[in-house]
Amino acid sequence: MVELNATLIAQIINFLLLAYILKKFVFGKVLQAMSDRQARIAGSIESADRERAAAEELKREYQEQLAQARTQAQTIVEKATKLAEQAKDDIIKEARAEHARLMKEAQEEIARERERAVAELRNEVVSLSIAAAGKIIGQNLDANANAKLVSDFINNLDGQKIGGVQ
Amino acid sequence: MGHGGHEIGSHKVAHFFGFAFNMDTLYMTWMVMAIVIVLAILAVRRLETVPRGMQNAFEMAIEAIGGQVDATIGPNSRKVAPLLITLFVFLLTSNWLGLVPGFTSPTNDLNTTLGLALMIIGFVHVLGVGHHGLSHFKHFIQPHPLFLPINIIEEIARPITLSFRLFGNIMAGEILIILIAALPLYYGEPLVGVLWLGFSVIVGLIQAFIFTMLSTSYLSNSLKEEHH
């Protein structure tokens, strides 16, 4: 059942023949293909790393620019707000001044009108008084003397009775 | 052994030039060689960058065994890696061929396993001398000259254990396949047979791997830079 014979030598030769054939026709090709693939994968990984680094650099740049833009926008808004405040203050101040000037003018106008009205009224009263007095006493007095007389009389009246003209 | 049917362990012996050859073992060996060569050539006929099918299987074998060889031997592994990968593929195909009905494993013949083991031991010494010169044989008297007998026994034990382990496993597996088929089991027989066949597939793989790895380890001492 267990006999050693020349088969032993034949098997060694068979095996070495197989090893030779495989080494010559198969292993070289396979190893070449495997190392090619390895190189290709390494290249792919390397280029992917490179591209990722570039993308990260780009992202960092964009973020920087964005931050810069944000700062600028804030500055612009602040400046605009300040300008608007300024403009508002100016407008309000101007409006107040205008208001005060108009008030003053109006008061002056009123005072002037009143004075004129009082003067007119006084003259009217003097004329009427003289006419009335002439009719009453039936004689024509010297007109100038009469006017003087009535005017003095009115001036002596209490100022309040004709509207308190100063 | 018996007559007719499957004859376990008996060989058809032919004589050429006064030498005896087990023809059935040789036929099966040539068949294994043809299968390995055809599969290998099919695998590399159209090498693709993204491997598929046979190429993938072949590359897996090369990488698995080549990686082990690299790890064990180191930088000089390129010299013996093709030999060891071939050894693994050859043994695996041989072990599995015996599981196909009508075929037997070349490894169920001690001539095959002992021949391969002696070839490996021969390579150990040839490569050792080629690599380290005559100081290669110093390991017989290490760590002390008194160890010479033990080292010689170890040296003799190596091919014997290497060859008998594989031979015994494959032989026993095939004997059991035939015995199970012959058992008068009415219900369990197909199940037991299938289970044993599946187990034999794993045994064939493991034994091929063990033989290859032990050969690698024997060869590694001859190729390592510092020699013990």
- Check whether B197 has a pLDDT greater than 80: yes
Verify whether the Cβ–Cβ distance B36 to A22 is below 8 Å: yes
Q: Tokens 């014997």: give the residue.
A: B160
CB within 8 Å of chain A, chain B residues 46-65: 47-49, 51, 55, 58-59, 62-63
- Check whether B176 has a pLDDT greater than 50: yes
Distances (CA, A) of A151 to A69, A128, A129, A155, A157: 84, 12, 10, 6, 10
> How far A54 CA lies from chain B's nearest CA (Å)?
28
**Chain A contacts of B62, Cβ < 8 Å?**
27, 30-31, 34
pLDDT in tens, A37-66: 888 889 999 999 999 999 999 999 999 999
Tokens representing A123 are: 């003259």
CB within 8 Å of chain A, chain B residues 69-108: 82-83, 85-87, 89-90, 106
Verify whether the Cβ–Cβ distance A29 to B44 is below 8 Å: yes
- DSSP for B10-46? ---EEEETTEEEEHHHHHHHHHHHHHHHHHHHHHHHT
How many CB atoms lie under 10 A from the CB of residue A71? 10
pLDDT in tens, B24-45: 888 888 999 999 888 888 877 7
pLDDT in tens, A70-127: 999 999 999 999 999 999 999 999 999 999 999 999 999 999 999 999 999 988 888 8
> How far B188 CA lies from chain A's nearest CA (Å)?
30
Contacts of A96 (CB under 8 A, 6+ apart): none
**Amino acid sitting at position A164:** G
Residue B143, preceding bond cis, omega within 30 degrees? yes
Nearest-Cα residue of chain A relative to residue B17: A6
Mean pLDDT of B44-48: 71
Calpha distance A150→A165 (Å, rounded): 18
> How far A57 CA lies from chain B's nearest CA (Å)?
33
**Chain B contacts of A37, Cβ < 8 Å?**
49, 51
A12 versus A146: the higher-pLDDT residue is A12
Residue B2: predicted pLDDT: 34
Calpha distance A70→B217 (Å, rounded): 69
Mean pLDDT of B204-222: 87
Residue B227: predicted pLDDT: 46
Give me the interface pTM, i.e. the ipTM: 0.81
Mutate to test the interface with A, among B8, B10, B16, B21 (most CBs of A within 10 A): B21
Burial class (CB in 10 A: 0-12, 13-18, 19+), A121: middle
- Check whether B217 has a pLDDT greater than 70: yes
How many CB atoms lie under 10 A from the CB of residue B200? 23
Q: Tokens 């992202």: give the residue.
A: A59
Give just the sign of the alpha carbon dihedral A32, A34, A37, A38.
Answer: negative
Calpha distance A114→A48 (Å, rounded): 97
Nearest-Cα residue of chain A relative to residue B111: A8
Residue B8: predicted pLDDT: 61
What SS3 state is found at A118?
helix
**What are the DSSP E strand ranges found in chain B?**
13-16, 19-22
Contacts of A25 (CB under 8 A, 6+ apart): B40, B41, B44
Least confident of A101-105, A109-113, A148-152, B172-176: A148-152
User: CA nearest B66: which of B56, B51, B78, B75?
Assistant: B78
Least confident of A32-46, B61-75, B87-101, B109-123: B61-75
Query: Over pLDDT 70: what percentage of chain B?
Result: 89
pLDDT band, very low/low/confident/very high, at A159 (cuts 50, 70, 90) = low
Tokens representing A134 are: 């002439």
pLDDT in tens, B114-149: 999 999 999 888 888 888 777 777 777 777 788 888
Q: What is the DSSP letter of A123?
A: H
- Check whether A24 has a pLDDT greater than 70: yes
Distances (CA, A) of A147 to A10, A72, B15, B104: 172, 84, 183, 167
Calpha distance B121→B127 (Å, rounded): 10
Residue B9: predicted pLDDT: 60
Residue A139: predicted pLDDT: 60
Calpha distance B174→B226 (Å, rounded): 43
- Chain A residues with CB under 8 Å of a chain B CB are 1-12, 14-19, 21-23, 25-27, 29-34, 36-37, 40
